[in-house]
Chain A
Amino acid sequence: MISVILTIFAPILGGFVYGIERIVRARMQSRMGPPLMQPFYDFFKLMDKRPIMIHSFHALMGIMYFIAEWFALAVLLLGNDLLIAVFFHVIAVLALVIGASSVRSSYSVLGALRELMHMISYEPLMVLMVVSFYLVVGSFDIKDVLHYNGYPILDLPLVFIAFLLTIPMLLQKSPFDVAEAHQEIIGGPEIEYSGPFYEALYTGKWIEYIYVFTFAFLFGGSHYWLGAILVIFAFLFINLLDNSTARLDFRRMVKFAWIVLIPMAALNVILLALI
């Protein structure tokens, strides 16, 4: 029941998460920050704007990104198989990349290509993480993970750390906000969207927050308090990291994922499987 509510209200919830994030980030920089409701004020303002687009294909892909992201979340929360949910996320990436590549704008196309580099970095790790859950819990079912009596985080510390460092890639946070890179390629895939179409993309990103932090929550098993602590910790950590680091080159990102994160997670899985 909770998961149904969570799925349906994911955009609103994600908006609040984003609002909180902006406040937290501002406080870390000793600023006041915008009000909590700011993302929604933005939402209404954008919806009110004159709809402008490059061409229908491009605009449609923005909307498809939003729908695909929402659907991926629904699969994660309402389905039963984590692995399928990971693969569903690729559909959202497809819509984003195809949309961004369809316009003659160097920044947008560059962003799309970099988005692919993001995928190469996090996708194998997500698969590995799901497999590691299977090793601990004995099932790919999200309900079984949430009813597991032990503490998955204790069995999977390295996987959790690897995932923690993957979140910036998924959510476009510094040091891995390579595809968006506001100061460099001005938002990458989203640069050519405007008005309501941009709003679709923007809301899709909010849903991605819920999608990503759900995985962090799973590390708590049936101890929801632990899951909540982990989510809050991950949230604060990501924002701290975002505030305190500079953006890396995309090559560094891929190398970091493949040389540090994946072996680290694999080591944890190997140790777990052997012992």
Chain B
Amino acid sequence: MESLIVLSIIIPWVFALTVYLAKNDFVTNSLSYLLLPILAFFAIELFFGTLPVYIHTSKILDILMDVYDFGLLFFFLYVGIKYKNSLVISLAILQITLLIMALIMMPHSDTPNIFVDKLSAFIYVIVALVGVPIVIYATKYMDYNEKNKHTFVAILLWFLGVMNFAVSVNNIEWFFALFETTTLASYALISFRKDEEAINNGILALWMNQIGGVAILIALILMIKYNGYYHFTDILNHPKTVAIAALGFLSLSALVKGAQMPFHKWLLGAMVAPTPVSAILHSATMVKIAPYLLLRIAPVIKGTLLAKLLIITTGYVFVVAAIIALTQDNFKKILAYSTISLLGLMMLAAVVGTPIALTASLVLIVFHAFAKGFLFVEAGVLEKAFHVKYIKQMRRLVERAPITLMFIFFGFLNMTFVPFGTFIGKWMMIEEVSNFLHHGSYIILILYVGAGSAFLSILYMKVLGISVRKAHGIERIKPIKLPITFNFVSVWYYLWLLVITIFIAPFIANEIVPIANMIAGNSANIHAIGLSLQMNHSILYFWQILGALILLLLIHALPYFVKFKADIVHPYNCGERFPRYIETWNFECLSKYENYLIAFSIALFIMVVVLGGGLL
């Protein structure tokens, strides 16, 4: 078991180094393809193996980690000085000071530093099945007028290794190091094109995530001062005594990493980078640290004031990000806002903390990872093969890029409709929260989930609406042939989503629920009856799952195959001349409130830290 864990972490680092040094097409391509079965095998072996595993590490590694920490922070300082950004500089200095303080105060602890339980293995699986295909995709993507392909792929590979490492550490100081390493990786990726905009956005991502790092360090210091321990397992073993302020700061770092408003700008900035960057940040790595961290500490913060404030904040982001997404016209930006929105929902579910809510959160993580990876991959295909970036350029996509549009359609369906996982997550949340209405007003949460999902649905329908519009009387356009790598990755995601959805009941009941049970310490009342899913007294029958799936499959795929034998006419349009192009609504009436909405989110954010952290 230990060796599997070490290999899952080390192999991506080794591959990354090889790719970086070799700078050879064959090496890059074959190693990326090779990583998929290797990591998938390790992750699945681990997931079904005997967990948790504790690994004691030697003292030398501890010291190495400290050295690495300082190296990292001094690098941030260097970046700040190089680009003359006072925020990065001052945050880096603050981090260095706090880190020195923490290291001086830190007592010796015998708790093992590496700790892998089912939750970590769950993230391993996502990294392997969702993250690696993006690297494979990047090997082809970078062939289209992009420079430094090998460096790029190397950073992506390394990122996967960092992510695997980050979810397996127990020591919070180490967690800080890896948290900031993901920050470094995202900085390197976002500013990859090295033009002015890219560097600005990279710096933005850097300092925003540095704030998260500062919050972790403060949490670490508080924990050492008041409790004398600084390991996740110790926190979980002493749920009553943990300093609530420390938990407040940990949650703050999760909110920053999860790009919750007002810290959402860095994730939006990621769209200037090559599309695989967005794909990897949004799906398998980086932002998923946020719900992961909250899931880790969920049993401790459950039911506290902190948890309630977090619910209000993340739920607010869920709705507001969906509303702002309506006003955007850049396809990648729309996807980014919907990620921010759904991350809000994941964290909300994690914070509610009952076994069923935790299950909902985990289900959302899996499905969001697959669907968002899928959608960003398709966004990249659109960009490179069809030169489409804005939704107004997406018109007649149904004729120009039928297969790609079909994939996008399927991805969108996954984000909101019955019977896909995102729907299941919302369904579980609403039914679970309905039980607490008797104790206090969780009613706002129901409204959040109901409203947010309605807004997301209309967002996707709006985008689809413009791309399915067909011209009339134009000869069929020959579809462009796509590279085999693109098709492989698309079909990979498509099939996974389809298979998991068909077997969603056993998948949730047998694979996801045990993780939630392990985190919560008691068992969720979710069972699979055959292929039907039972939660408490409610049943989602298999005939419903299958029926909805068939309906949606017919809606998104059938139009390409069905040709009715009927006379074809021009649109009637009330006898008027029909327009060549029709735009869509841009919801200008909402965009003027954007600043107010963000301002309110800042207020909520401060409230989480001050009241939730018990600083008053």
Q: List chain A positions with a Cβ less than 8 A from chain B.
A: 50-61, 64, 67-68, 71, 74-75, 79-81, 83-84, 87-88, 90-91, 93-95, 97-98, 101-109, 112-113, 116-117, 119-120, 123-124, 126-128, 131, 134-135, 139-141, 186, 191-192, 194-195, 197, 251, 262, 266, 269-270, 273
Is the CB–CB distance between B555 and A107 below 8 Å?
Answer: no
Question: With the chains together, A134 CA to B551 CA distance in Å?
Answer: 28
Question: With the chains together, A66 CA to B468 CA distance in Å?
Answer: 20
Closest-by-CB residue of B relative to A134 is B434
Is the CB–CB distance between A84 and B559 below 8 Å?
Answer: no
Contact mask for chain B residues 371-387; partner A; CB cutoff 8 A; 1 contact, 0 none: 00000000000000000
Is the CB–CB distance between A51 and B469 below 8 Å?
Answer: no
Question: With the chains together, A167 CA to B547 CA distance in Å?
Answer: 26
| Chain B neighbourhood of A91, CB < 8 A | 417-418, 548, 551-552, 555
Instruction: Name the interface residues of B370-422: CB closer than 8 Å to any CB of A.
Output: 398, 416-418
| Chain A neighbourhood of B548, CB < 8 A | 71, 88, 91
Instruction: Name the interface residues of B434-491: CB closer than 8 Å to any CB of A.
Output: 434, 437-438, 441, 443, 446-447, 449-451, 453-455, 457-458, 461-462, 464-466, 468-472
Given A94-B555, A101-B469: A266 and B443 within 8 A (CB)?
yes
Is the CB–CB distance between A105 and B573 below 8 Å?
Answer: yes
Closest-by-CB residue of A relative to B452 is A124
Further contacts, 10 of them, CB under 8 A, given A91-B555, A126-B450: A53-B564, A54-B570, A91-B417, A101-B465, A102-B465, A104-B470, A106-B578, A124-B450, A197-B566, A251-B589
Question: With the chains together, A50 CA to B558 CA distance in Å?
Answer: 23
Given A90-B457, A91-B417: A127 and B430 within 8 A (CB)?
yes
Closest-by-CB residue of A relative to B413 is A94
Is the CB–CB distance between A87 and B454 below 8 Å?
Answer: no
Is the CB–CB distance between B427 and A54 below 8 Å?
Answer: no
Question: What are 16 A-B residue pairs whose CB atoms fall within 8 Å in the complex?
Answer: A51-B565, A53-B567, A56-B562, A75-B547, A91-B548, A93-B461, A94-B552, A98-B465, A101-B465, A102-B465, A109-B584, A120-B454, A127-B446, A191-B573, A191-B574, A197-B566
Given A54-B570, A56-B562, A269-B443: A135 and B555 within 8 A (CB)?
no
Is the CB–CB distance between B434 and A131 below 8 Å?
Answer: yes
Contact mask for chain B residues 563-586; partner A; CB cutoff 8 A; 1 contact, 0 none: 111111111111010111010110
Q: Which of B178-186, B230-238, B538-546 is found at the contact surface with chain A?
A: B538-546
Which residue in A61, A113, A139, A191 is a CB contact (below 8 Å) of B537? A139
Is the CB–CB distance between A140 and B537 below 8 Å?
Answer: yes
Is the CB–CB distance between A113 and B438 below 8 Å?
Answer: no
Q: Give min CB distance, A155 to chain B, whole Å.
A: 13
Question: With the chains together, A53 CA to B569 CA distance in Å?
Answer: 6
B423 at interface by CB-CB < 8 Å = yes
Is the CB–CB distance between B427 and A83 below 8 Å?
Answer: yes
Which residue in B437, B441, B453, B564 is a CB contact (below 8 Å) of A56? B564
Is the CB–CB distance between B564 and A60 below 8 Å?
Answer: yes
| Chain A neighbourhood of B416, CB < 8 A | 90
Q: Give min CB distance, B456 to chain A, whole Å.
A: 11
| Chain B neighbourhood of A120, CB < 8 A | 454-455, 458
Closest-by-CB residue of A relative to B416 is A90
Is the CB–CB distance between A67 and B551 below 8 Å?
Answer: yes
> Which one of B451, B540, B559, B563 has the highest number of Cβ atoms from chain A below 10 Å of its Cβ?
B559
The 5 closest A-B pairs by CB, nearest first: A101-B465, A127-B450, A51-B566, A124-B450, A123-B454
